[in-house]
Amino acid sequence: IQERRYKWNLPSRAMADRDFARPGGLAGAMRLDGEDQTTVMQNEMNRRYEAVRAQANILRIGGEEVTANVGDLKFIAEIGHGSCGHVSKYSYNGQLMAVKEMVKSTNAEEMKRIIMDLDVVTKASDCPNIVHAYGYFITPEKVMVCMEVMATCLDRLLRRTGNTPVPEPIIGQIAVSVLTALDYLKEKHHIIHRDVKPSNILLDWNGVVKLCDFGISGNLIQSKVYTRQAGCPPYMAPERLNPNAPPNYDIRSDVWSVGITMVELSRGKYPYANLANEFDIFSEIMRGEPPLLKVDEGFSEEFVDFVRRLLQKEVEQRPKYKDILNHPFIVRSRNDTETDVGEWFTDIMQLQD
C-alpha cells in the first residue's frame, strides 16, 4: 500500500525501551547498562519468540483447526507493505488470505516488532473491528502471518477518489469502528496501537471497518508506554514529538492520531499537506494550533466538537476512550441505522471503474 512517507530525524535520548517491561520480563533490564542490558532484552525476545513459535503452523479456518505447511500456500499477487513487512495474496485449499511476510532478524528491535505483531493478531482476532488472523508460519528465514483479505485502506481510497472528502455520516461509522478496536486493545490486552492513520484502517467488501498493522504496538505499563521512537510522525501527538517531554504517554496519543485522521477524511487531504517540508510539519504539530473543523464548512456541531476534543494540544485535556465513546457524535453515529458504509464503498468503486 502506497502512502505518504517522510524521513524524520526525531530527537532521541539514551533510554531503555520499556515496551515489554513486566514482572519477569524486561523490567530488570532497566537497571542494567550496555552489554548486560542488551543481553537481557535479547533473552526476553527469545523467550517470547519461543512462546509464539509453539503456535506456529496452525490455521483456524471456518471453526476448524488444521496443521499446515508453508508449501500448502499458493501465491497469487502482491498487495502492499506494512510497518515491518510486505503483504501478498495467497490461497490455502481455496481460502483466500492476505499473508504478511516479515524477515527474521537478530536485531532485538526488529524481533520485537515481529513478536508484537504475532501477539496482537493472535490475541485480538475476536474483535470484529480488528483484521482477523487465521494463524502464522515460522520458517528459518521469515515469519508469515495469514489474515483475512480486505478490499482497501482509507489512504488508498482517498487517492482513488482524487482526495474527495468522505461524508460525515460515513466518518461517524469509521470513528465508531476504530475507537471500538482501540478501546478493545486497551481494555482486553493492555495495548496501545501507536500507528493509527488512514493506511492502517481497512475496509472489507461489505464496508466493515477494521484496524490493522500492530508491528509497533506497545504494552501499557500502568496505562503508559515508555518509548518515543515508533509510529508515523505526521500522525503523532505533540507529546510524542517533543524532545523535552517525558518519554511516557498513554492511549491519548492514539486519540490525537484518530483526530488527525478524522480531519484528513473530512477534507480529503492530510491537514498539513500545504507545508513545504518535514521540518515545517514537525514545527506546526509542536507549536501551531491543531487543524480543527468549522461548522460553516458544512460539518455538524457535534462532529466539530468531537474533533476539537480529540485534538487538544495538552494531553491532560484530551479525553480517554470512555468519554470519547459517550460523546454525542459517537452516540449518534452508533445509533445511525441508515448509513451504509458498504453501499457507499460499492458506489465509489463502481464510479471509479
pLDDT given at position 32: 43
pLDDT given at position 105: 72
Residues 172 and 117 in one domain: no
Residues 118 and 197 in one domain: no
pLDDT given at position 75: 96
Residue 256 C-alpha cell reads as 490525537
Helix (H) or strand (E) holding 261: helix 252-267
In angstroms, what CA-CA distances link 223 with 150, 208, 259?
A: 31, 29, 20
Residues 138 and 166 in one domain: no
pLDDT given at position 21: 35
91: number of Cβ within 10 Å: 15
**What is the value of pTM for the model shown?**
0.80
Residues 180 and 245 in one domain: yes
195 belongs to the catalytic site: yes
- Residue 190 belongs to some domain of the structure: yes
Question: What would you report as the CA-atom Rg of the chain, rounded to the nearest whole angstrom?
Answer: 20
Residues 197 and 317 in one domain: yes
Angle of helix 108-123 relative to helix 168-189, nearest 10 degrees, comes to 100
Quote the number of domains for the chain.
2
Residues 131 and 160 in one domain: no
Residues 301 and 196 in one domain: yes
Residue 212 C-alpha cell reads as 490493522
283-322 in b/e form (b: 16+ CB < 10 A) is ebbeeeebbebeeeeebbebbbbbbebbbbbebeebbebe
Domain interval for residue 89: 55-147
Angle of helix 108-123 relative to helix 34-53, nearest 10 degrees, comes to 30
pLDDT given at position 305: 98
Residue 6 C-alpha cell reads as 517522510
DSSP assignment of 293-353 equals --GGGT--HHHHHHHHHHT-SSGGGS--HHHHTTSHHHHHHHT--S--HHHHHHHHHHHH-
- Residue 256 belongs to some domain of the structure: yes
Residue tagged active-site, from 155, 195, 213, 250: 195
pLDDT along the chain (353 residues), means of 10: 42 34 37 58 70 85 91 92 77 94 74 69 83 89 89 93 95 98 88 87 95 58 41 77 64 91 97 87 90 97 98 92 97 97 92 64
- Residue 39 belongs to some domain of the structure: no
> For residue 70, what is the domain's CATH number?
3.30.200.20
Residues 72 and 203 in one domain: no
In angstroms, what CA-CA distances link 59 with 49, 94, 119?
A: 18, 14, 15
Residues 128 and 250 in one domain: no
Residues 250 and 116 in one domain: no
- Residue 94 belongs to some domain of the structure: yes
- Residue 42 belongs to some domain of the structure: no
pLDDT given at position 83: 54
